[in-house]
Structure 1
Amino acid sequence: MNGPRRIEYLERDTYRQRRYRDAARALPVFATILFFLPLFWDWEAGTGIRPSVLIVYLFGMWLALISLSALISYLIRFSDGDSRDSPTEGDDR
């Protein structure tokens, strides 16, 4: 028989900081998928997709991804969680 399960507990701030960092790592993959998405559009079937729609889509995604990365960067930098990147007092790095 197995003993009681050990439950790991992370502080809320540390947990959020890790999720923000995970989001920052996943953002380039998400962006790549979104930028390659127009390659799968059906250009020949009279659906009305014109090159102007593609330009608006690309610049809209570009603006949205810049905004999202700025927000994630702000959340990582100014959250009260894990501050392992900043030296502590008396640290001679």
Structure 2
Amino acid sequence: MSQTDRDEASGRQQTALFVERRTYRHRRLMDLARLLPLTGALLFCVPLMWPNPDPYPAPDTSGGMAMSEAITYMFVVWTLLILASLAFGGAVRRWAENWSDGTDQPGEEAP
């Protein structure tokens, strides 16, 4: 009796150690989709941890972060999140075309 016959008789299933490349990439894209909003929310919370500017700072101390620096930071993070979502959208579009073997092109019909 071979090993596979014994596995089938005992009801155990063998699982593959490696998954197909398409499946692996699809899962990573899904992970990125889940993490992008969370990362954005955390980056938007960073200015809350900056020290408040002191209206009358001592001569040898830093006066905290200015509001203009915080607003600049927020716009930079906002722009980076937009660019990341555009890159993610392009990756999903390419993945969808490869997954369907390019049958979703205009003028082509699926078999």
Q: 1:6 to 1:17 in 2, by over 3 A?
A: closer
1:43 maps to 2:52: yes
Q: CA deviation at 1:48?
A: 4.5
| Identical positions, percent | 34
CA contact (8 A) 1:34 1:61 kept: yes
Report the count of equivalent residues: 84
Q: CA deviation at 1:7?
A: 3.2
Give the distance between the partners of 1:44 and 1:54, measured in 2 at CA.
11
Give the TM-score normalised by the residue count of structure 2: 0.62
Q: What root-mean-square deviation, in Å, do the aligned CA atoms of Structure 1 and Structure 2 show?
A: 2.6
Ranges in structure 2 where 5+ consecutive residues have no aligned partner: 1-11, 55-61, 105-109
Secondary structure of residue in 1 paired with 2:52: coil
CA contact (8 A) 1:20 1:76 kept: yes
1:52 maps to 2:61: no
Give the distance between the partners of 1:49 and 1:71, measured in 2 at CA.
32
- Residue 73 (structure 1) aligned to one of 89, 98, 105: 89
Higher-Rg structure is 2
Give the distance between the partners of 1:54 and 1:30, measured in 2 at CA.
18
Q: CA deviation at 1:63?
A: 0.3
Deviation >3 Å, runs of 4+: 5-8
Q: Which has the higher contact order (CA 8 A, sep 6+)?
A: 1
Match of 1:21 in 2: 30
Q: Which moved more, 1:7-16 or 1:18-27?
A: 7-16
